[in-house]
Structure 1
Amino acid sequence: MVTITEFQKIGVGLVGFGVFFILFGVLLYFDSVLLAFGNVLFLAGLAFIIGLKRTAHFFFQRHKLKGSTFFLGGVALVLMRWPIIGMAVESYGFILLFKSFFPMAFGFLGSLVNIPYLSSLTWSD
């Protein structure tokens, strides 16, 4: 069993609040303050979960440099109060950063159908 440290628990909370503020900022017509606060919380939570060194290593790998530039540039644009352009740039960077993760995530979601009792609850005729 994997043990979760207190810092990782705090990081999960920070990432959760960051995602909440980002979604709430988008719902309130791209409120730049909420989006900026959400971005800062998300990045801080990521650093708490995997550590500062691994976070820096993740963002600054040679093959992920383009995605990191777009993602962090979008965060900077949001912080400079250009929320719509910043979120568009940030979204493109997010897709570039995590494009290798998407097939695994979709495969996991597809395997949820094979769970006993869950498959009988969903898509039953």
Structure 2
Amino acid sequence: MVSFEMNDRKKIGLGLTGFGVFFSFLGIIFFFDKGLLAMGNILFFSGVTLTIGLKSTMQFFMKRQNFKGTISFGVGFFLVVIGWPILGMILEAYGFIVLFSGFWPTLAVFLQKIPVLGWFIQQPYVRSFFDRYRGRRVPV
């Protein structure tokens, strides 16, 4: 059972996840700086773990349909840490897309409710892109 109440642990987890995304973005901006990328990866993973809990994190990453994403994300993380940031980030990006592809429809609905961004997304050429993925469901 997943609890949707926002306690301090989940707030810290969301903050760590945000900082992880920020440090990863900085690492890419600074020409794939391996230190920033590794720190971003560690913060992102620890933030996700704190936000949804250790058991749910393990269940998510160990699902049979997520193995390909988990393995490529893990190998990419390892490559970033040992000093091959470009190849590591390519593998991590692929793993991230595979792992979190089930969340794209929810993200699309959320983005459409943001005032200025929502207007842009409501345009016919952009909306057709989001509508294509809204109907697709990933089995749980």
TM-score under structure 2 length normalisation = 0.76
Structure with larger RCO (C-alpha < 8 A, sep 6+)? 1
For structure 1, which runs of at least 5 residues remain unmatched after alignment? none
Query: Partner of 1:76 in structure 2?
Result: 78
Task: In structure 2, give the amino acid aligned to 1:58.
Answer: F
2:7 matched to which residue of 1?
5
1:48 matched to which residue of 2? Answer: 50
Runs of 4+ that moved beyond 6 A = none
The Cα shift of 1:60 comes to: 0.5
Cα distance, 1:4 vs structure 2: 1.0
Backbone CA RMSD of aligned residues: 1.9
Of 4-13 and 87-96, deviating more is: 4-13
1:25-75 superposed Cα distances (whole Å, 9 cap, x missing partner): 000000000000000000001110011111011001011111111111111
Q: Please, which of 85, 88, 105 is the counterpart of residue 86 of structure 1?
A: 88
Q: Which amino acid aligns with 1:67?
A: G
CA distance in structure 2 between the partners assigned to 1:3 and 1:51 by the alignment: 13
Cα displacement (A) at 1:107: 3.2
1:73-122 CA distances to partner (integer Å, 9 max, x unpaired)? 11111111110000000000111111121123223323x27xxxx47xx5
SS at match of 1:87: helix
Q: Distance in 1 between matches of 2:28 and 2:81?
A: 15
Q: Which stretch of structure 1 is more off in the superposition, 25-34 or 3-12? A: 3-12
- Give distance in 1, aligned partners of 2:106 and 2:21: 21
- 1:3 Cα deviation (Å)? 2.6
For 1:38 and 1:66, the matched residues in 2 are separated by 22
TM-score, normalising length from structure 1? 0.85
Q: How many residues align?
A: 116
Name the SS of the counterpart of 1:100 in structure 2.
helix
Q: Distance in 2 between matches of 1:11 and 1:100?
A: 21
Percent identity among equivalent residues?
45
